[in-house]
């Protein structure tokens, strides 16, 4: 009986010593990339959209101060969001990347979007 108690006590000590979380410090390169300004290109399909129509070129176009909301994820984990503003040049928008995000969802216009704590779009009570 004492042998079993001794074995269980040793196993408990062994498990307790291995449960401490290991924290890996960020490298300088990762710290520098957090908050880095990037430029994206956003093209508009010529179907249903709510941006401006140019009679001269017969194409849809972005307008000054148009903003996209980019919601960043790492797999299915929400990492944050960032607003990107139209530069006035082609289809380019400037904004700050979301640290730790590997994939993004983009929404337009940014001002009309409300997110919950998991990065999901919240619809108003009068939406439907």
Q: In 3D, which of 70, 67, 69, 71 has the Cα closest to residue 119?
A: 71
**Over the range 27-59, which residues count as b (16 or more CB within 10 Å of their CB) and which as e?**
eeeeeeeeeeeeeeebeeeeeeeeeeeeeeeee
Q: In Å, how far are 3, 43, 45, 51 from 60, measured between CA atoms?
A: 80, 10, 8, 6
What integer is the mean pLDDT of 114-126?
A: 86
pLDDT digits (tens, 9 = 90+) for 3-46: 555 454 444 444 433 333 433 444 445 544 556 777 777 766 65
Arithmetic mean of pLDDT over the chain = 73
Give the Cα separation of 24 and 38 in Å (integer): 26
Rounded-to-10 torsion of CA 104, 87, 47, 58 = -170
């Amino acid at each position: 009986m004492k042998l079993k108690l001794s074995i269980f006590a040793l196993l408990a000590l062994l498990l307790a010593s291995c449960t401490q979380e290991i924290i890996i410090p960020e490298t300088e390169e990762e710290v520098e990339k957090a908050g880095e300004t990037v430029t994206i290109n956003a093209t508009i399909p010529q179907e249903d959209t709510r941006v401006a129509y140019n009679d001269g070129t017969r194409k849809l176009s972005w307008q000054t101060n148009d903003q996209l909301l980019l919601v960043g994820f790492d797999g299915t984990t929400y990492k944050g969001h960032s607003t990107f503003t139209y530069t006035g040049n082609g289809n380019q928008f400037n904004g700050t990347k979301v640290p730790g995000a590997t994939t993004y969802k983009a929404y337009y216009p940014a001002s009309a979007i409300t997110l919950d704590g998991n990065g999901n779009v919240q619809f108003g009570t009068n939406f439907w």
